[in-house]
Structure 1
Amino acid sequence: MQEPLISAIRIQGLFGMYTYNLPEEGTLSNAAILYGDNGFGKSTILRLAFHLLSAATNRGHRNALFDTYFHSLEVDLSNGILLGVTRHLAADHEEQGKAKKLSLYIKKNEEFIALWDWVPKSANNEGAYHFYFDDDGKQILKFSKEEPSLPIDTEKYGEEVYIQALEALTPTTFILNADRRLDSDSVSDPSDEMELRRVMRYEEPKRINDLVVRSREIALSQAINSAARWISRKAVHSANRGSENVHQAYSQVLKHLVSSKKAVGEPTDVNELQKQLSNIEIKTAELAKYELATPLNMVEFKKSLSTKSKPKSTLAAGLLKPYIDSLNGRLAALDLIYELVDKFVEMVNDFLSDKKISYKVSQGFSVQNAKGFPLDWGNLSSGEQQLLLLFCYVLTGRDKPCVFIIDEPEISLNVKWQRQLIRSLLEITKGSEVQFIFASHSMELLAQHRQRVVRLVNKNG
């Protein structure tokens, strides 16, 4: 089992009522499922954790923490990093839970490495909140039209220090909300797309639902293109590694020729070469399905090895061996990307009904109906679009530590898909640093993955 990236989440005073340690004992699994009654805050906890782990300064992460009623939140990472935030309630708004500032901090093995007191921009353009030191050297927060006379300047304090530490120490985090919108600092906002802005500005007024649908289609297109580019880069990288293997193979041949008079006449297992030629035929045919290689016909080579003349057979084997070794090296370099693409295509097609996706290096991904006619991505159902969007980002997230937070994954998924979902996600991320955290009411998910369920138990109750 892969190690989790987030090992624990602790929150105090959620909505002024709930305090949770998740889990109560041990650590979260690499595919944890939060379970609790409606209104107990599991979706809110996941959203807060997403905002706490996200560093971007233009996506409202700190505002979301500021506006949600809770007292404190801490997230433990398995690498020893602790991320925390405390909301300081305004004295005149304690009952309503309104805050006056956030204290954000990052610890490594119990030692503070970054701190930042954050306040929202004041609605009053004539002034803003600033930090000062009083006569005793204590930090105070004061509303003023003037810049602070003694600005804070320490190695561990401030926005720049905090954001840099957050970017360096935390995994890339994604969240798939209950409205089926996928958010992450690493994903561009589909509402920023020129096409969507053009539709909203120049064409006839659209219903809100039409714009939501179009935004979802653009988001899916972004995800598919991102996955296709990722596979293409991996294929090029693998091909380059394969070329290095070819170079090494021929370098070894030349070294033997120069250093040993018997090199050319050394015996070669003809039967073994025959088997390798057959394997190369099969392998190149498989790779050709995705244009990762050209299919090779080895019939003539096999004939040259099958000649009854021993000297000719030996000569053919000696000449073919370095070529076969170089091909095997090149194909071995493509094994991983082929397995990933093949698994991805097969997995997605297991979910689709009367449709299937395909992939070619030269064309990227495409989708066809059961009769082979091409379809637009918008022809997929909302559930199919949701799954494909998620799988695309999960695939491209294999290269770095990633956490995928998924709120109510059962939405838009039938019972069969619910049974397949977690198993499929874990299969496609095997061998990578990817963790999934779900919030769910699905009896199918809960029953099939009891060992992964984390129940919300209120410490204040």
Structure 2
Amino acid sequence: MTEPQKRISSIRADRVLGEFGYEVEFPGSSDNNRMRLIYAPNGRGKTNFLRAIHAALTASPEALQALIEIPLARLEITFADGGSILVERAQHLVGSYSATATLHPNEQGISINVDPADFAGRLYRLFIGDDRLAPPTDDVREGTRPDGGSLAGNRRRHGSLTRLLDTVERMLTQSALASLSRESAQTGIYNQITRTTLQGSSELTASEARAALEAQITGLLEQGTPLEQYQLLSMRQLRDIATQLGGVRANNRQLPIVHLILKPYLDSLADQINSLAPAYQLIDTYVKGVNRFLDRKELQFTAPRGIRLVGRDGKSLHPEGLSSGERHLLLLLSQAVLATSDSPLVIVDEPELSLGLEWQRDLLSELLRCSQSGNVQFLIASHSVQIMGAVPREDIVQPSEAP
């Protein structure tokens, strides 16, 4: 979950482009309050507003320099715990400004004055968006690398979408490995088996032992089988045990001993499944979210192999070879998933570009679903009627105009 002190409660900007004001409120943490949509005709400063927020929330020399050229008089970002970031200019809309960061409302903030003379030259140019129309930087023929090898298991290419998918892949895999690591440190299965075996015979009758084993195994198979599709866990051994139990008589005298020995293993497996549940939910939401949009191709994920894109013929597809809309969709959903770990606010400028009408209608709900585990907030600027139709009217922000 996003830490409370990182959650944004409000954003206000005055005199963007010298004329327009924006005020955005995030009053709560539910899904209904995680997304705000900005609508305004062209030339009302939407992109400048988003660029200013991005720069103000980025602690770097490049961000400080970017703010020099963004035309506004004042920007204030307030956090849920009362902390704030304030950027303001005394006179001109561009150039020198002061920035103040306050951790808590009753504490004195840290202030700096920034002047264009502090920077020898333009360090970089900030874009909020993606490279969906940029040509691939290398050979993107399906199923092959430039050296003739297979793409499967080796997607380390130079395209930005490929690098982004590699980052998502690492995040999903590390989430699963971290879950298993926590479980392994806590369970001590062999220690439990040793202890229960040394305790002696079970107090259960043969029929009671069999019923208890069958009930626990059935429950574990129901909970654990979905994890197998992403190869997070194998239930093969448990199925073999269930088959063996099904082949013995209900009054077999060895059943109480079998129950005594298997109980620690079954309890450990239950701990594994519970530990992996958050990782499974994150992976499942992302994979199904992407595939809800894709047609005639599919995104796949397994813990051993990572992320793959495949066509309906089963052959691997290179991410940079997708259509502009497909690449844009993957970029947006991937960023939403990555934000669950470290970014309380995701800023998107005109997400509808390159997307068909049906995708535009479903996009915002999918962004919320993919990011639900991190309680991520979204600030989106759009001209699309389809996009706006997916957001309650009260969540649409329009600029005010200076008298």
Cα distance, 1:318–1:50 mapped onto 2, change above 3 Å: same
Decide which structure has greater strand share: 1
Cα distance, 1:110–1:70 mapped onto 2, change above 3 Å: farther
Cα distance, 1:270–1:63 mapped onto 2, change above 3 Å: same
Alpha-carbon offset, residue 405 of structure 1: 0.4
Whether 1:272 and 2:212 are equivalent positions in the alignment is yes
Over residues 130-165 of structure 1, what are the superposed CA-to-partner deviations in whole Å (9 max), with x where a residue is unaligned? xxxxxxxxxxxxxxxxxxxxxxxxxxxxxxxxxxxx
Mapped contact 1:33–1:452 kept (Cα < 8 A): no
Cα distance, 1:254–1:295 mapped onto 2, change above 3 Å: closer
Cα distance, 1:311–1:109 mapped onto 2, change above 3 Å: same
Mapped contact 2:364–2:390 kept (Cα < 8 A): no
After superposition, residues 197-212 of structure 1 pair within 5 angstroms as none
Residues in 2 aligned to 1:420 and 1:98: alpha-carbon distance in whole angstroms = 38
Q: Which runs of 5+ in 1 are unaligned?
A: 126-174, 183-189, 197-215
Mapped contact 2:44–2:399 kept (Cα < 8 A): no
Mapped contact 2:196–2:260 kept (Cα < 8 A): no
Alpha-carbon offset, residue 220 of structure 1: 0.7
1:147 maps to what in 2?
A: none
Residues in 2 aligned to 1:331 and 1:124: alpha-carbon distance in whole angstroms = 56
Bigger radius of gyration, 1 or 2? 1
Point out the more displaced range, 353-362 or 389-398. Answer: 389-398
Q: Which runs of 5+ in 2 are unaligned?
A: 139-156
Alpha-carbon offset, residue 31 of structure 1: 0.6
2:17 maps to what in 1?
A: 15
Whether 1:343 and 2:285 are equivalent positions in the alignment is yes
Mapped contact 1:31–1:436 kept (Cα < 8 A): yes
Length-normalised TM-score, structure 2: 0.81
Residues in 2 aligned to 1:436 and 1:352: alpha-carbon distance in whole angstroms = 23
Residues in 2 aligned to 1:405 and 1:427: alpha-carbon distance in whole angstroms = 16
Paired residue for 2:112, among 110, 116, 130?
Answer: 116
Mapped contact 2:85–2:100 kept (Cα < 8 A): yes
Over residues 219-256 of structure 1, what are the superposed CA-to-partner deviations in whole Å (9 max), with x where a residue is unaligned? 11111111111112112111112223431x55455555
Cα distance, 1:66–1:300 mapped onto 2, change above 3 Å: closer
Alpha-carbon offset, residue 282 of structure 1: 5.2
Length-normalised TM-score, structure 1: 0.71
Over residues 37-71 of structure 1, what are the superposed CA-to-partner deviations in whole Å (9 max), with x where a residue is unaligned? 221112211111111111122xx322221112221
Whether 1:74 and 2:79 are equivalent positions in the alignment is no
2:254 maps to what in 1?
A: 312
Cα distance, 1:401–1:292 mapped onto 2, change above 3 Å: same
Residues in 2 aligned to 1:368 and 1:397: alpha-carbon distance in whole angstroms = 25
Over residues 302-330 of structure 1, what are the superposed CA-to-partner deviations in whole Å (9 max), with x where a residue is unaligned? 43364243422222222222221122222
1:238 maps to what in 2?
A: 179
Cα distance, 1:257–1:449 mapped onto 2, change above 3 Å: same
3-state SS of paired residue (2:372): coil
1:370 maps to what in 2?
A: 312
Cα distance, 1:5–1:452 mapped onto 2, change above 3 Å: farther
Residues in 1 aligned to 2:401 and 2:318: alpha-carbon distance in whole angstroms = 50
3-state SS of paired residue (1:44): helix
Paired residue for 2:378, among 428, 436, 439?
Answer: 436
Cα distance, 1:389–1:354 mapped onto 2, change above 3 Å: same
Whether 1:85 and 2:25 are equivalent positions in the alignment is no
3-state SS of paired residue (2:314): coil
RMSD: 3.3
Cα distance, 1:452–1:221 mapped onto 2, change above 3 Å: farther
3-state SS of paired residue (2:117): coil
Paired residue for 1:408, among 335, 350, 354?
Answer: 350
Residues in 1 aligned to 2:127 and 2:255: alpha-carbon distance in whole angstroms = 62
Alpha-carbon offset, residue 283 of structure 1: 5.0
User: How many residues of Structure 1 are paired with residues of Structure 2 in the alignment?
Assistant: 370
After superposition, residues 209-224 of structure 1 pair within 5 angstroms as 218-224=159-165
Cα distance, 1:176–1:287 mapped onto 2, change above 3 Å: farther
1:143 maps to what in 2?
A: none
Residues in 2 aligned to 1:13 and 1:63: alpha-carbon distance in whole angstroms = 20
Cα distance, 1:373–1:452 mapped onto 2, change above 3 Å: farther
